[in-house]
């Protein structure tokens, strides 16, 4: 009887499927496209790979670098942190220049 119950539990339990490499590549492409679109930087490019947070958190983080588009910034390089909401598929960015080391005199 215990074996039957165990077998039923195994059959009724939701199956966990690992994502395929193609699925991860498509997801990474969507994150990059959404973050780049939300960015205020010209020629925004990712710095390294995205940080995949646990599904309980619900976000993927991506660091972007590019040039500030404002004339008075004279093409100065800027950094932004993008948080991509997995559920709503929306990107939110904030300036994060403080992550770069400051020049020592």
**For the segment 37-83, what is each residue's pLDDT rounded down to a tens digit?**
999 999 999 999 999 999 999 999 999 999 999 999 998 999 999 99
Contact call for residues 60 and 52 (beta carbons, < 8 A): yes
Across 67-89, b (16+ Cβ under 10 Å) vs e yields: ebeeeeeeeeebbbbbbbeeeee
Question: Residue 100 — very low, low, confident or very high, per pLDDT cuts 50/70/90?
Answer: confident
Report the number of distinct structural domains present in the chain: 1
Pairing of strands 90-95, 59-67: unpaired
Residue range(s) defining the domain that contains residue 102: 42-105
| Residue 91 falls inside a structural domain | yes
Q: Which residue has the higher pLDDT, 54 or 11?
A: 54
What is the model's pLDDT at position 13? Answer: 41
| Residue 58 falls inside a structural domain | yes
Q: What is the pTM of this model?
A: 0.76
């Amino acid at each position: 009887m215990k074996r039957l119950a165990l077998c039923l539990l195994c059959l009724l339990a939701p199956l966990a499927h690992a994502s395929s490499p193609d699925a991860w590549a498509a997801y990474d492409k969507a994150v990059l496209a959404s973050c780049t679109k939300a960015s205020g930087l010209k020629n925004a490019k990712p710095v390294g790979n995205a940080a995949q947070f646990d599904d309980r958190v619900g976000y993927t983080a991506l660091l972007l670098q590019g040039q500030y588009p404002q004339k008075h910034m004279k093409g100065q390089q800027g950094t932004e942190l993008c948080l991509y909401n997995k559920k709503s598929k929306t990107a939110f960015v904030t300036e994060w220049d403080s992550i770069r080391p400051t020049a020592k005199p």
